[in-house]
Amino acid sequence: MKNWSIRKRTIFINVLLFVVLFLLIDFNKSQIRPLVNKMPIANELAGCFPNFIAALLISLALINAIRSKSFKASRFVSWGAALLVFIILTLEEFVPMWGASTHFDLLDIIASGLGAALAILIFELLNGQSAKKEK
Protein backbone atom coordinates (compact mmCIF):
# COMPACT_ATOMS: atom_id res chain seq x y z
CA MET A 1 0.00 0.00 0.00
CA LYS A 2 2.86 2.37 0.85
CA ASN A 3 4.53 1.79 -2.55
CA TRP A 4 1.30 2.64 -4.39
CA SER A 5 0.97 5.84 -2.36
CA ILE A 6 4.54 6.85 -3.24
CA ARG A 7 3.93 6.04 -6.92
CA LYS A 8 0.72 8.09 -7.02
CA ARG A 9 2.48 11.04 -5.38
CA THR A 10 5.42 10.75 -7.80
CA ILE A 11 3.13 10.58 -10.83
CA PHE A 12 1.02 13.49 -9.58
CA ILE A 13 4.08 15.69 -8.95
CA ASN A 14 5.59 14.84 -12.35
CA VAL A 15 2.34 15.55 -14.21
CA LEU A 16 2.07 18.81 -12.29
CA LEU A 17 5.66 19.74 -13.22
CA PHE A 18 4.97 19.16 -16.93
CA VAL A 19 1.69 21.11 -16.81
CA VAL A 20 3.49 24.00 -15.09
CA LEU A 21 6.26 23.76 -17.70
CA PHE A 22 3.87 24.12 -20.62
CA LEU A 23 1.82 26.84 -18.91
CA LEU A 24 4.93 28.89 -18.10
CA ILE A 25 6.33 28.55 -21.62
CA ASP A 26 2.99 29.52 -23.12
CA PHE A 27 2.61 32.46 -20.71
CA ASN A 28 6.13 33.61 -21.54
CA LYS A 29 5.46 33.38 -25.28
CA SER A 30 2.03 35.01 -25.29
CA GLN A 31 2.35 37.59 -22.50
CA ILE A 32 5.91 38.30 -21.38
CA ARG A 33 7.78 38.30 -24.71
CA PRO A 34 5.42 40.82 -26.38
CA LEU A 35 5.56 42.99 -23.26
CA VAL A 36 9.37 43.19 -23.15
CA ASN A 37 9.95 43.14 -26.91
CA LYS A 38 11.49 46.64 -26.94
CA MET A 39 13.67 46.12 -23.82
CA PRO A 40 16.94 44.48 -24.92
CA ILE A 41 18.00 42.82 -21.66
CA ALA A 42 14.50 41.78 -20.61
CA ASN A 43 13.84 40.45 -24.12
CA GLU A 44 17.01 38.31 -23.97
CA LEU A 45 16.02 36.95 -20.55
CA ALA A 46 12.49 36.18 -21.74
CA GLY A 47 14.01 34.52 -24.81
CA CYS A 48 16.10 32.07 -22.82
CA PHE A 49 13.49 31.50 -20.07
CA PRO A 50 11.96 28.44 -21.83
CA ASN A 51 15.36 26.69 -21.79
CA PHE A 52 15.89 27.53 -18.12
CA ILE A 53 12.46 26.38 -17.02
CA ALA A 54 12.57 23.26 -19.23
CA ALA A 55 15.95 22.19 -17.81
CA LEU A 56 14.77 22.89 -14.27
CA LEU A 57 11.37 21.21 -14.39
CA ILE A 58 12.31 18.22 -16.55
CA SER A 59 15.33 17.58 -14.31
CA LEU A 60 13.12 17.89 -11.23
CA ALA A 61 10.64 15.41 -12.71
CA LEU A 62 13.44 12.90 -13.27
CA ILE A 63 14.91 13.58 -9.84
CA ASN A 64 11.47 13.16 -8.27
CA ALA A 65 11.14 9.72 -9.85
CA ILE A 66 14.67 8.79 -8.76
CA ARG A 67 14.13 9.97 -5.17
CA SER A 68 10.92 7.93 -4.92
CA LYS A 69 12.97 4.76 -5.47
CA SER A 70 15.43 5.68 -2.66
CA PHE A 71 18.53 3.69 -3.52
CA LYS A 72 22.20 4.29 -2.70
CA ALA A 73 23.24 5.68 -6.09
CA SER A 74 20.35 8.17 -6.23
CA ARG A 75 22.72 11.15 -5.96
CA PHE A 76 24.83 9.94 -8.89
CA VAL A 77 21.78 9.10 -10.99
CA SER A 78 20.07 12.42 -10.16
CA TRP A 79 23.13 14.43 -11.14
CA GLY A 80 23.41 12.32 -14.29
CA ALA A 81 19.74 12.91 -15.14
CA ALA A 82 20.15 16.69 -14.81
CA LEU A 83 23.33 16.54 -16.89
CA LEU A 84 21.53 14.48 -19.54
CA VAL A 85 18.72 17.05 -19.72
CA PHE A 86 21.34 19.80 -20.13
CA ILE A 87 23.12 17.84 -22.88
CA ILE A 88 19.88 17.19 -24.78
CA LEU A 89 18.83 20.85 -24.57
CA THR A 90 22.32 21.90 -25.69
CA LEU A 91 22.23 19.51 -28.64
CA GLU A 92 18.82 20.98 -29.52
CA GLU A 93 20.58 24.34 -29.97
CA PHE A 94 22.99 22.89 -32.51
CA VAL A 95 20.64 20.43 -34.23
CA PRO A 96 16.98 21.36 -33.74
CA MET A 97 15.06 18.16 -33.03
CA TRP A 98 11.62 19.35 -31.90
CA GLY A 99 11.38 22.70 -33.62
CA ALA A 100 11.73 24.56 -30.33
CA SER A 101 14.99 26.17 -31.39
CA THR A 102 15.14 28.07 -34.65
CA HIS A 103 18.69 29.39 -34.28
CA PHE A 104 21.78 28.87 -32.15
CA ASP A 105 21.83 30.99 -28.99
CA LEU A 106 24.57 30.77 -26.38
CA LEU A 107 22.25 32.30 -23.77
CA ASP A 108 19.88 29.36 -24.23
CA ILE A 109 22.72 26.96 -23.41
CA ILE A 110 23.67 29.00 -20.33
CA ALA A 111 20.01 29.10 -19.24
CA SER A 112 19.74 25.32 -19.67
CA GLY A 113 22.87 24.85 -17.56
CA LEU A 114 21.53 27.14 -14.85
CA GLY A 115 18.20 25.31 -14.81
CA ALA A 116 19.88 21.91 -14.49
CA ALA A 117 22.23 23.26 -11.79
CA LEU A 118 19.28 24.65 -9.84
CA ALA A 119 17.57 21.26 -10.06
CA ILE A 120 20.70 19.63 -8.60
CA LEU A 121 20.80 22.25 -5.85
CA ILE A 122 17.15 21.55 -5.01
CA PHE A 123 17.93 17.81 -4.96
CA GLU A 124 20.82 18.36 -2.57
CA LEU A 125 18.69 20.58 -0.32
CA LEU A 126 15.94 17.95 -0.22
CA ASN A 127 18.48 15.23 0.52
CA GLY A 128 19.96 17.32 3.32
CA GLN A 129 16.54 17.84 4.88
CA SER A 130 15.62 14.16 4.66
CA ALA A 131 19.01 13.22 6.19
CA LYS A 132 18.30 15.56 9.12
CA LYS A 133 14.86 13.97 9.64
CA GLU A 134 16.41 10.50 9.80
CA LYS A 135 18.80 11.51 12.61
Cα 125 from Cα 135, distance rounded (Å): 16
**What domain range is 63 assigned to?**
2-134
Q: What percent of the chain has pLDDT over 70?
A: 91
**Closest-CA residue to 54 (of 90, 104, 9):** 90
Please, which residues have CB within 8 angstroms of residue 97's CB and are 6 or more apart in sequence?
91
Contact 48, 111 (CB under 8 A): yes
Q: How many domains does the chain have?
A: 1
Q: In this predicted structure, what is the pLDDT of residue 134?
A: 61
Residue spans of the chain under pLDDT 50: 1
* Integer Rg of the chain from CA: 17
Q: In this predicted structure, what is the pLDDT of residue 131?
A: 61
pTM over 0.85: yes
